[in-house]
Amino acid sequence: MFVRELKDPLIRLNGAWKKTPEKLEDFKQTVMRFSSAGIISIADLLLYYPREWVDRTRTVPLKDFDKKDEKGRKIAVCTIAKVIAHEWVGFGVKRGVKVHIDDGTARAVLTFWKYQETYEKKLTVGEKFWISCKFSYNARYGEIQSSSKIVYKRIADESTFKKLFPIYPLTKEITQREIESLIRLALRHYITAIEDEIPLFLREKYGFLPKHAALTVIHAPSEPEELEKAKNTLIYEELFYLETMIGKKAMTRKARQREGEAKSGLQGRLLERLPFSLTEGQVQAVREINSDMDGPFPMARLLQGDVGSGKTLVAFLACLHAIENNGQAAILAPTELLARQHAENAAKLLEPLGVWVAFLTGNVKAAGRTQLLKNLASGEIDLVIGTHALFSKDVVYRDLRLVVIDEQHRFGVLQRQAIIDKGGSPDLLMMSATPIPRTLAITVFGDLDVSIIQDMPPGRKPIETHLARESNETKVYDFVRRRLMEGAQAYFVYPLIEEGEQDLKNAASMAERLVREVFPEYKTALIHSRLDEEEKRQTMEAFRRGDTHILAATSVVEVGVDVPNATCMVIEHAERFGLSALHQLRGRVGRGSAQSYCFLVYSDEYTEDAKNRLMVMLENSDGFLIAEEDLKLRGPGQIAGFEQSGYVKLGMADIVRDSAVLEQARTDAFAMLEKDPGLLLPEDLVVSAVLERCPPWQDIVF
């Protein structure tokens, strides 16, 4: 039996519980609380892994309380100490208890301001405890005092003292002691029935533990080396099955039969009309897309490229390929502003070639919409560009051959599928100007082919990036004023639309201040997500024409607004934005040939994490490097639409930390599938059985 097949409810463990009525009722209440935390079955319990393991073999005595690690961070004391006295301090609600301890190298004080009586009783004078805590020296009292959360464990007999113990992620429903007790019971009564899930040839190749042994060690380790082996086993297993599922999906995308070049028809005619040549990256992307579209299976390709790398032109060329073969194409954008910009550019470039381009959003009026839908259904419209309206129920295509999804991370799995379902089996091209780290790309989009445009169109100058404290922003204003005097335009971006609970600048009030105090001689406009689409369009159009000199905005301008004359980007409270958002905003300038500038204005009080992120922006202009750093700092949760990807939640593995294991698991999984696509060989039958019998692998959606 595989561990995920252990569907017995937790209440089954009551056979091992003390069967007095009171104890049984307590147990039922415990099970109910676990159920509230999502732990319902024995499988849920055994797969509820610790978040860390405390290694009590590592000793840091009290005398070394002020030592730091290689990164300059204070090290926690880990020592066995004796409680020598209690001391009550303070009065009333501010009353606390000091527990004096001695480990033979120094004396220190553990201070508790809540549940003081509880700690006084538990930390009994004269007894020994294992204690882990950070300490600092209080010169006023001349003593070493606790300065972080205190973890302690009573030692009845040092010879039987467990050297390793797990720490579980807890909620208000469950406690550490309760989960330890239930897992101990589950291991005792179920562990021997659990089968291995890693094929034997791979388990022997890497020296992995059997599954029942790995689970036992994870929850009840005895030695650090044994724990590492168990972790390695479970991490590899998760990533191996993840990559196996990705590989099975990728197998449906057969190898393309021939390379495609830019056609002599519509594609060639467009290229002849352009006043510039494609970059090498664009040429390669067009070649790969043409090859896919000419192949026997529907294309599924992710086109990545930094801000301003020319992805939209590549998408237009792909649309021409579909149209030339008597099909229709649709470009889906996340905002009306971006969709309108794409439609305007497509009209300029493609309509002279005889291509009928249409624009469709929820704001298209009823009369015009009715006729547009008729023309779309009849096939008269070749290319339709719009927002979510493209997959409304009443939208019908005659022959949708290509779906292009721009800024794909802004759409969920179901939304992507809704537009694809409008065609038979249309080719799919997803585009992202938010570079996705390779580690993440091969996991989330492992069943897609990936094209990357690494180069930029000639003539673009690197954007100069500067950091500025909020208290020095007058210098930023002076710099921007000099650029405005030269005829340039500027963006000022803020984290909030209006004044909120947080003490942050907001776009609405700052727009007024820019007009009234800072730049009274220049015209300033305000744009944010709460404005209706027509007002947003008019505001952006005025800025694009140069009628407006300064645009005060929120991150609504992050996506797809091209104003070549705008050379200054000022982002206030930059520490409040993610790296990807900062990179996208910075990419709104530098769209022309003039030198452009980005100022990241940060609060005088900022965290170490904020400082690290801003330094990444200062030191890097390559979006892919920035994305890698963003992945390290934030994890995969919110990057590139990861949360919307339908991606299975991993229990033990971390695709950032375990990227090397991910690569190896991918190699092994793909090699297995190439050798045995149906998983019919004896050595692969266990994989077939796991995929068939065990969620989440059978339900995974990408």
Domain check: are 320 and 374 in the same one? yes
For the stretch 558-607, pLDDT in tens is 765 688 899 999 999 998 888 878 888 998 898 888 899 999 999 877 76
How confident is the model at residue 638, as a pLDDT?
46
What is the Cα–Cα distance from 269 to 263, expressed in whole angstroms? Answer: 9
What is the Cα–Cα distance from 306 to 657, expressed in whole angstroms? Answer: 25
Domain check: are 541 and 410 in the same one? no
- Across 47-61, 203-217, 246-260, 428-442, the highest mean pLDDT is recorded for 203-217
Residue 133 clears pLDDT 90, i.e. is over it: no
Residue 399 clears pLDDT 80, i.e. is over it: yes
Domain check: are 419 and 536 in the same one? no
For the stretch 157-206, pLDDT in tens is 555 556 788 888 877 777 777 888 889 889 998 999 999 999 999 999 99
How confident is the model at residue 357, as a pLDDT?
95
More confident call, 212 vs 335: 212
More confident call, 276 vs 156: 276
In this structure, is residue 534 part of a structural domain?
A: yes
82, burial (CB in 10 Å: exposed 0-12, middle 13-18, buried 19+): middle
Q: Residue 682 — pLDDT band, cuts 50, 70, 90?
A: very high
Backbone phi, then psi, for 591, in 5-degree steps? -85, -10
What is the Cα–Cα distance from 549 to 539, expressed in whole angstroms? Answer: 11
What is the Cα–Cα distance from 540 to 647, expressed in whole angstroms? Answer: 36
Q: Which of 620, 637, 665 is the last residue of a domain?
A: 620
How confident is the model at residue 645, as a pLDDT?
39
Asked if 317 contacts 465 with a C-beta cutoff of 8 angstroms, the reply is no
In this structure, is residue 487 part of a structural domain?
A: yes
Q: Which of 559, 588, 620 is the last residue of a domain?
A: 620
Backbone phi, then psi, for 268, in 5-degree steps? -60, -40
In this structure, is residue 212 part of a structural domain?
A: no
Share above pLDDT 70 across residues of the chain, in percent, rounded to a whole number: 87
Domain check: are 500 and 444 in the same one? no
Residue 255 clears pLDDT 50, i.e. is over it: no
Q: Residue 572's domain spans which residues?
A: 464-620
Residue 245 clears pLDDT 60, i.e. is over it: yes
Residue 55 to residues 5, 99, 147, 163, 673: CA-CA distances in angstroms? 32, 24, 20, 6, 40
In this structure, is residue 45 part of a structural domain?
A: no
Q: Residue 69 — pLDDT band, cuts 50, 70, 90?
A: confident
Domain check: are 480 and 565 in the same one? yes
**How many other C-beta atoms can be found within 10 angstroms of the C-beta atom of residue 327?**
22
Residue 432 clears pLDDT 60, i.e. is over it: yes
Average pLDDT, the chain: 84
How confident is the model at residue 158, as a pLDDT?
57
Domain check: are 507 and 601 in the same one? yes
Domain check: are 525 and 426 in the same one? no
Q: Residue 635 — pLDDT band, cuts 50, 70, 90?
A: low
654, burial (CB in 10 Å: exposed 0-12, middle 13-18, buried 19+): middle
Count of structural domains, the chain: 3
How confident is the model at residue 178, as a pLDDT?
84
CATH at residue 476: 3.40.50.300
Q: Residue 87 — pLDDT band, cuts 50, 70, 90?
A: very high
What is the Cα–Cα distance from 507 to 515, expressed in whole angstroms? Answer: 12
